[in-house]
Structure 1
Amino acid sequence: MRKFDIRNIKIRKVTVDQLNDKMLLINLYMTQALTLIIGIAWVLFQGRNPLDFFAWPMTSQFALWGGGLALLVLVFDLGISRFVPEEAADDGGVNERIFKIRAVWHIAVISLTVAICEEILFRGAIQYAIGPYWTSIIFAAIHVRYLRHWIPTGLVFAISYGLGWIMIHTGTLWAPILAHFLVDFIMGCIIRFRREEK
């Protein structure tokens, strides 16, 4: 039996095209798990209980704010896509690779996973520490695949700031989770069915 030697591990940069579908999904779910773990650890370090995030709001007002922000983002994004060349909004093909062959239920699972994990870290932990503006800068920087073009980078920053604002306004993490989920799910379905028509 060969002995495991950590020095034999080689790290190299790969593009999305070099990953097969299984590895792409593993990478997606592992990064979301890591995001969730960091978020929960940060919240605990702040002396807060992460389970408090999931207390159901007394009114359904959060749904109006979350759905309203999602609608605004989708209308703006779809509207701007008519005037901006496709290469100016290119994310390196990541979203297309993730969503183009997924079943609708799997798009929903991915969207919900991303929404919960990222909102716990960014709105639940980081925003609590440094506010929505700096959180949005970090959120835009984390979405590194958009940084090659200023339009998607600006859009990600604005969406993040909107998510932070509705959390402050509603007092619940459910509002940004709902908005994040709806944007990702609807855009994922658009990618899925637009590619199916071609």
Structure 2
Amino acid sequence: MANAVETMKNMSKKEITRVFLLQNGLLILLGIGIIFISTGILNWMGQLRFDWVSVFLGVALACVFGGLNAWLDRLLPERLTDDGGLNRLIFRNRKPLDIFLLCCLIGVTEEFIFRGIIQVYFGFWASMILFVLVHFRYLNKGYLLFNVIITSIIIAGLFQFSNQNLIAVIMFHIVFNFIGALDMRNRYQNEGGVARG
């Protein structure tokens, strides 16, 4: 983890964005391959239905838990909330629109994989555990691990509650991440101007 942060310190904003695009693009291609092999894209696309109630519930939950998460991040000592500096590197010097687009990319990709494939085929617990393990940089930080576990349970539960509505969990993930990322950007900006735009 320390090596990843050190490597990213030497990268430009464009290079960091390219890494995110490549990583998420590969995940999407892997997911599409799994879908084609298992059920076919047309059967799977039934999960991409727009249901106002489910989407509203996803956005409302994201606002509540995202706001609570941002408040706790400001309240708790930085030693509990710091992920080793990776989030600071990703979100510093980014405009809100850039942050929103990154959150869209991450939300779509992760929910496509974890809920749209893993939870559908392997169940609630598999999607939750794998989601936590993918966020491995939080595994040695008690508060951050607790946070990602609770978030994973909420997202997996929303997916079940919404009759496997992928759009509802994608909206939750995007809004939740955007609230947290924007709060981080604003805190870094207030700590000495590292975030601008």
Structure label with greater radius of gyration: 1
TM-score, normalised via structure 2 length: 0.84
Aligned residues: 185
Matches within 5 A, 1:1-198: 14-19=3-8, 20-21=11-12, 22-49=14-41, 52=45, 55-57=48-50, 59-171=51-163, 172-198=165-191
Mapped to 1, the partners of 2:112 and 2:48 lie a distance apart of 13
Give the letter for the 2:7 counterpart: Q
Which deviations, in whole Å up to 9, do the C-alpha atoms of 1:17-65 show, x marking residues without a partner? 32212332222221111221122222222214266157432x4102221
List runs of 5+ in structure 1 lacking aligned partners.
1-12
Distance in 1 (alpha carbons) for counterparts of 2:82 and 2:185 = 16
TM-score of the superposed pair, with normalisation by structure 1: 0.84
Cα distance in structure 2, aligned partners of 1:53 and 1:156 = 28
- Aligned-residue CA RMSD (Å): 2.0
Quick check: 1:40–1:120 contact (8 Å CA) kept in 2? Answer: no
Runs (4+) of structure 1 exceeding 6 A deviation are none
Identity %, equivalent residues: 24
Does the Cα contact within 8 Å between 1:115 and 1:180 map onto a contact in 2?
Answer: yes
Q: Distance in 2 between matches of 1:157 and 1:44?
A: 30
* Residues 59 and 171 in structure 2, CA contact (< 8 A), matched pair in contact too: yes
Give the CA deviation at 1:163. Answer: 1.0
Judged with a 3 Å threshold, the aligned counterparts in structure 2 of structure 1 residues 127 and 137 are, in CA distance, closer, same or farther, namely: same
Residue identity opposite 1:104 in structure 2: P
Cα pair distance change 1:18/1:192, threshold 3 Å: same
Amino acid at match of 1:96: R
Q: How far did residue 132 of structure 1 move?
A: 1.6
Instruction: Look up the SS of the partner of 2:140 in the other structure.
Output: coil
In structure 2, distance between residues paired with 1:16 and 1:108 = 22
